[in-house]
Amino acid sequence: MADKSFFIDTTRCTACRGCQVACKQWNKLPATKTFNWGSYQNPADLSFSTFKVVRFREVISGGKLRWYFFPDQCRHCLEPPCKDTAEGFVDGAVVQDDATGAVIYTGKTRMLSSSAFEEVRQSCPYNIPRQDPATGLVAKCTMCFDRISNGMEPACVKACPTGTMNFGNRDDMLAMGNNRVAALKKKGFKKAQLLDADSIRAVFLVVDDPSIYYKFSVAQNDVGISRKLALRKLMKPATGLITGVAKL
Amino acid sequence: MTNHWIDIGNSDCILVMGSNAAENHPISMKWVMKAMDNGATLLSVDPRFTRTSAKADFYTALRSGTDIAFLGGMINYIFQNKLYNQEYVAYYTNASFILGKKFGFKDGLFSGYNKKTRSYDKSYWAFEKDKNGVSKRDLSLKNSRCVFQQLKKHFSRYNLDKVSSITGTPKADLVKVYKTYAASGKTGKAATIMYAMGWTQHTVGVQNIRTMAMIQLLLGNMGVAGGGVNALRGESNVQGSTDHCLLWHIWPGYLKTARASNTSLDVYNKKWTPTTNDPLSANWWGNYPKYSVSFLKSMFGENATPFNGFGYDWMPKVDDGKPYSWLNLFDAMYQGEFTGFFAWGQNPACSGANANKNREAFTKLDWMVNVNLFENETGSFWRGPGMDPKKIKTEVFFLPCAASVEKEGSITNSGRWSQWRYKAADPPGDAKPDGDIMVELMDKIRKLYQASGGAFPEPVLNLKWDYTTNGKFDSHKVAKEINGYFLADVTVKGKDFKAGTLVPSFAFLQADGTTSSGNWLYCHSYTEKGNMAARRSTVDKSGIGLYSEWSWCWPVNRRIIYNRASVDRYGKPWDKEHPVISWNGSKWVGDVPDGGWPPMLTADGKLNPKTKYPFIMKPEGHAHVFGPGRADGPFPEHYEPLECPIEKNLMSGQFVNPTIKEFDTAADARATCDPRYPIVASTYRVTEHWQTGVMTRWQDWLLESQPQSFCEMSEQLAKLKGVKNGDGVIVESARGKVEAVAIVTKRFQPFKIAGTTIHQVGLPWCFGWVTPKDGGDSSNLLTPSIGDPNTLIPETKAFMVNVRKA
């Protein structure tokens, strides 16, 4: 039974970026060359070598200066559109673990052409997948599958000093999130809310309009299961047939 | 910290001012969040909106260098609204003490000032004494000459208009902070302060902290859970290194460094042992000779005897009245007064104020030994910017050393917890633990002295020097010596002890040479029961997070110091929900009490003759809201920073701290109210780098997340200077310049100071030219070498610069 989830409480996040560095350390990801671009946010975006990035956003909201931190990562959708899309091209490029629900990109992603990858990326409602231009491999957060399969927390959760990053059974995480929303509402945070909690396994809590934090903090309407994807899903057996015919 | 990290979680209100806990002490936010979960309010006061401010319930800004004005306004608010804890203030502090006739204050100067020497004759600040030599007191606090009334009068000048005009903080914001914080004056409530270098690194650094300590005393917040005055230390072991006399003016355990005028051990002990005529004062420092003699026995072992003053003559003496602090040493080095220099685990080319002066000073040396993990701007100064290696005579030796995880030993954290740590891996290559480097070095020096003598060989040859096992430095042997041994079979306080056993606590140390202790404050840390610092029990019997059997803390494992003030005069806790100690009728229960004496009153309300006043480290047993020991006055007073943007001090005719002393070399240029440098600047650290970045700039993942030096500025200033977010800028002071990337942000806002608009910028000091090549250099190239008159800590948090587009 797929029952694991993250609960990510942005109200506790101090943007220390322990999660970002711990992710790189555990997954043996190299540093990328960065420049200060007028922001603390660095690397500026996710990449093939960066599965987790803390996004910084400063804004006047409700008449007050706010500095919001959003530790972005793959949401591990309950029904991942990237998997459906990738399957349209290469079987087994993206798999979903039955026990945890982790959405995992495999070595077969190498077989995705750049246009196929672009479709996979566009199908992600959260703009997560990134391709290595050198090898063609596509990568993102693995839910630290190797750790959680051995009874350990994901590296980002282990490193978090404030209780922002939480991981556990989905029911427990949703209960923790709902309790926190209730407590924050009581404290006066009227917009306290969980983001897309019903459809993903990395559930963020925010206290302002989600789009202020980051464009892709919630699923974007123009991506996800698009008409194009729906068509491709329909076409899939036919594609296989055509390939089969060609081989004959 | 008077309290400790976990205890922050017990607080009702947390003020983060003069620090940036979320960025520089990330783990502390775990406890801040815990307090907030329980309903505590987090206040952030900082010139810049930081990652701490982002988590705060309320944030407001002040101009760098105006903290005394801000906090002075809070003291005034506490008096005006009578929010102080009357019983606490009257009985536990020196607020009731009557000041002598000579004390006075006029136009920014206290009585006793000598303009020529820029110093005070502190005898002008003495209390009136009765016929027994005990300070006179008025417990009703009504006498116009009592400290309470003088304090009230002094701070009545800090009204909202004046404070707002100096600090630039809107009046409504001042009231909001004052009201929220001072609510902790109510019995059972506690508020705490988390401060760091944002308060200390000013020409009024000591008085910044004193002002807050006074607020904590007025509100009854000292000694209680969730209260205290809490310095967030910038290095994992800076508390430990200070305890063990990293600084020039102290021996281990805060004993005094001997002065030239302390011509013998007797003179020394007499000079530094305080006395009291008040039978109710414990005057703990009255034990001074027991600690100094035990220390000398640790230094010189069997060579220290009663007949040679226990080797006192072999200890170095400093000239009376002459400071030997960091700034003085680098000034002397700059003027060619040194031949050699050990730069050990430090990087003064980037960490020291006025770094250009330090870098130039290195060129005057014959040799430098640089002990560090990585190449750095200090060891490689000779090939740094503006240097011509051909013209530099200094010979540099680089000794690679082990990192903290590559050796065994203790670290003492901000909360005074000494925690034993084990070695996780061998150091790479030729790198050695610092202890081994020291042992090898001293062995060689001792052999040279033995073979060829020298000017004064006795201190070197008579040293007790037996800290190795199988030729290697043994941290357990050092830790045991720090605790101390019985050196003879003795009976102390009715208990028999055998020679060679470890002393159970400093209460058993002796002044006759029968005990040793490398640091009396740590006597209790490594006893016959074992290495206390290695304890790892996660059981908390206290219910308030003391975790008394996890590691060990000084003194005698007392987790919250001044805890005798956490109770009323009957010994009942002010805060029933978070009792630190309480009197059960026959003894104290809870934390290790600050002395075991019974509370001040018996159950029927009579004075208990067996009691002692709660603040046992003060000769008169009372906490100092009036501090007659400070160089710059017994009450804090606002003075402008050495470099400031306004032409006069709005509080008085005294522009800057009247007791600071400037250096006068060519490298010590300064520019105040100078149109060439119209912008206030401050320096700070970032989460991603450690101090000067010597370790972290070589760490790819950290460098990736904070790759280059930056200068944060307001949108308004950026517009004025034609600078866009992400542009390169040049920041210049009277002493140097650096290049940085502009971060144009709403998190800095211009200040309205005395009716004019003042801008402020800030830069990190963690970068350096060695690596990365495009990272920029240390912002300490800009800062002035001017120090606080008490501590000589440099004023790197408030100075003047200009900014232009690169």
The per-residue pLDDT for range A136-151, each reduced to its tens digit, is: 999 999 999 999 999 9
Express each pLDDT in A182-220 by its tens digit.
Answer: 999 999 999 999 999 999 999 999 999 999 999 999 999
Q: What are phi and psi of A239, to 5 degrees?
A: -60, -45
Axis-axis angle for helices B160-167, B171-182 (nearest 10): 110
Min Cα distance A113 → chain B (Å) is 30
Interface of A with B in 69-98 (CB under 8 A): 69
B771 to chain A, any CB pair closer than 8 A? The answer is: no
CB contact under 8 A, A38 and B55: no
State the Cα–Cα distance between residues B733 and B679, nearest whole angstrom. Answer: 10
Min Cα distance A107 → chain B (Å) is 25
Q: Taking CB atoms and an 8 Å cutoff, what residues of chain B touch A67?
A: 49, 51, 53-54, 747
The residue of chain B nearest to residue A67, with distances taken between CA atoms, is B54
Asked if B535 and B557 touch (Cβ cutoff 8 Å), the reply is no
B805 to chain A, any CB pair closer than 8 A? The answer is: no
Min Cα distance A190 → chain B (Å) is 15
Place of tokens 């008449």: A63
Q: Taking CB atoms and an 8 Å cutoff, what residues of chain A touch B703?
A: 31
CB contact under 8 A, A58 and B745: yes
pTM: 0.96
- Bridge partners for B106 per DSSP: B109
Express each pLDDT in B394-427 by its tens digit.
Answer: 999 999 999 999 999 999 999 999 999 999 999 9
User: What is the predicted pLDDT for the residue at A248?
Assistant: 36
Token pair, residue B272, equals 């530094």
Min Cα distance A44 → chain B (Å) is 9
Residues contacting B270, CB < 8 A, separation 6+: none
Token pair, residue B736, equals 């140097």
ipTM above 0.90, yes or no: yes
Min Cα distance A128 → chain B (Å) is 19
Token pair, residue B425, equals 């891996």
- In order of B147, B220, B625, the CA distances from B214 in angstroms are 12, 10, 5
User: What is the predicted pLDDT for the residue at A247?
Assistant: 37
Axis-axis angle for helices B326-334, B355-362 (nearest 10): 50
Q: Are strands A4-9 and A202-206 parallel, antiparallel or unpaired?
A: parallel
The helix (H) or strand (E) run that includes residue B31 is helix B28-37
User: What is the predicted pLDDT for the residue at A223?
Assistant: 53
Three-state secondary structure call for residue B468: strand
A109 to chain B, any CB pair closer than 8 A? The answer is: no
Min Cα distance A115 → chain B (Å) is 30
A68 to chain B, any CB pair closer than 8 A? The answer is: yes
Asked if B699 and B706 touch (Cβ cutoff 8 Å), the reply is no
Q: Is the pLDDT of residue A233 over 60?
A: no
* Per-residue confidence band for A62, with pLDDT thresholds at 50, 70 and 90: very high
Nearest Cα residue to B745 out of A65, A159, A49: A65
Place of tokens 């009396």: B520
Nearest Cα residue to A63 out of B746, B720, B755: B746
State the Cα–Cα distance between residues B500 and B301, nearest whole angstrom. Answer: 12
User: What is the predicted pLDDT for the residue at B541?
Assistant: 95
Q: How many residues does chain A have?
A: 248
State the Cα–Cα distance between residues B490 and B504, nearest whole angstrom. Answer: 13
A113 to chain B, any CB pair closer than 8 A? The answer is: no
CB contact under 8 A, B706 and A40: yes
Q: Taking CB atoms and an 8 Å cutoff, what residues of chain B touch A30?
A: 700
Residues contacting B800, CB < 8 A, separation 6+: B643, B644, B645, B671, B672, B674, B677, B678, B679, B680, B681, B733, B734
CB pairs under 8 A between A and B: 98
- Bridge partners for B432 per DSSP: B401
State the Cα–Cα distance between residues B298 and B462, nearest whole angstrom. Answer: 11
Nearest Cα residue to B198 out of B798, B800, B799: B798
Q: What are phi and psi of B711, to 5 degrees?
A: -125, 115
* Per-residue confidence band for A241, with pLDDT thresholds at 50, 70 and 90: very low
Q: Taking CB atoms and an 8 Å cutoff, what residues of chain A touch B23?
A: 14, 16
Of chain A, the percentage scoring pLDDT greater than 90 comes to: 88
* Per-residue confidence band for A1, with pLDDT thresholds at 50, 70 and 90: very low
Residues contacting A136, CB < 8 A, separation 6+: A109, A110, A111, A112, A114, A117
Nearest Cα residue to A52 out of A123, A112, A130: A130
Half-sphere exposure (Cβ direction) of B104: Cα atoms closer than 13 Å: 7
CB contact under 8 A, A14 and B51: yes
User: What is the predicted pLDDT for the residue at B765?
Assistant: 98
Q: Nearest 5°: CA angle at B566, between B283 and B507?
A: 35
Which of A15, A18, A163 is nearest residue B33 as measured by Cβ atoms?
A163
- Bridge partners for B120 per DSSP: B113
Min Cα distance B796 → chain A (Å) is 23
Q: Taking CB atoms and an 8 Å cutoff, what residues of chain A touch B709?
A: 36
Residue B440: count of CB within 10 angstroms of its CB? 16
Residues of chain B with pLDDT below 50 are none
State the Cα–Cα distance between residues B546 and B591, nearest whole angstrom. Answer: 8
User: What is the predicted pLDDT for the residue at B600?
Assistant: 97
B169 to chain A, any CB pair closer than 8 A? The answer is: no
CB contact under 8 A, A67 and B53: yes
Which of B22, B53, B746 is nearest residue A60 as measured by Cβ atoms?
B746
Positive/negative CA dihedral, B547, B548, B549, B550:
positive
User: What is the predicted pLDDT for the residue at A232?
Assistant: 57
State the Cα–Cα distance between residues B636 and B615, nearest whole angstrom. Answer: 21
B773 to chain A, any CB pair closer than 8 A? The answer is: no
Q: Taking CB atoms and an 8 Å cutoff, what residues of chain A touch B744?
A: 38
Q: Is the pLDDT of residue A238 over 60?
A: no
Q: Is the pLDDT of residue A106 over 70?
A: yes
User: What is the predicted pLDDT for the residue at A235?
Assistant: 55
Which of B59, B705, B709 is nearest residue A21 as measured by Cβ atoms?
B705
CB contact under 8 A, B30 and A65: no
